[in-house]
């Protein structure tokens, strides 16, 4: 369930709040949003996990993001991961069915995966193995080549024919 929190000083809340006639009260929520369930779930999760629980989740995400980036590079797929990020950027797959199956976010020649706490090493291995198998078909007999992603992730992270 998507949910976010904005923490600010009361003086700023007061600047943004306004009277809402049909509510007969002041509204200080962003754009009048009212999903109370999302806020309750977020509050519950924050209280249940606590600081150390979130810290463990973040460490796992960062560790698994590094694992995915290293696995992609190991099999010859251009990839990049910024410091303190769980978003791995890599060459866009050539098959839109593959993109849809793995729900990849793509733009131009790149795709990215945001490694979340629910993503396991097994899932990452399955993804990389399937990507490698599909690439063998896509690049068979030189019909296609890996996409150039140098302008998006830098020459050092691009494994296209020009930058190998």
Is residue 79 within 8 A of residue 72, CB to CB? The reply is yes
Please tell me the predicted confidence (pLDDT) of residue 15: 78
pTM as predicted:
0.78
Q: How confident is the model at residue 161 (pLDDT cuts 50, 70, 90)?
A: confident
Distance between CA atoms of residues 86 and 67, nearest Å: 10
Q: CA separation (Å) from 6 to 10, 28, 42, 129, 159?
A: 12, 11, 12, 40, 40
What mean pLDDT comes out for the span 2-24? 74
Nearest partner of 138 among 107, 97, 88, judged by Cα: 97
Q: Could you tell me which residues are beta bridge partners of residue 25?
A: 20
Distance between CA atoms of residues 57 and 53, nearest Å: 6
């Amino acid at each position: 369930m998507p949910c976010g929190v904005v923490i600010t000083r009361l003086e700023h809340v007061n600047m943004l709040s306004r009277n809402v006639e049909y509510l007969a009260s002041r509204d200080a929520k962003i754009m009048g949003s009212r999903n109370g369930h999302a806020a309750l779930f977020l509050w519950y999760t924050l209280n249940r996990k606590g600081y150390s629980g979130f810290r463990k989740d973040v460490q796992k995400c960062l560790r698994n993001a590094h694992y995915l980036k290293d696995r992609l590079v190991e099999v010859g797929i251009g990839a990049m991961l910024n410091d303190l990020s769980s978003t791995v950027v890599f060459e866009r797959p050539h098959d839109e069915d593959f993109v849809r199956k793995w729900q990849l976010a793509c733009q131009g020649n790149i795709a990215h995966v945001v490694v979340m706490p629910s993503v396991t090493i097994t899932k990452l291995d399955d993804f990389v193995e399937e990507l490698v198998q599909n690439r063998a078909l896509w690049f068979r007999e030189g019909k296609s080549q890996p996409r150039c992603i140098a302008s998006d992730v830098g020459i050092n992270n691009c494994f296209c024919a020009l930058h190998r």
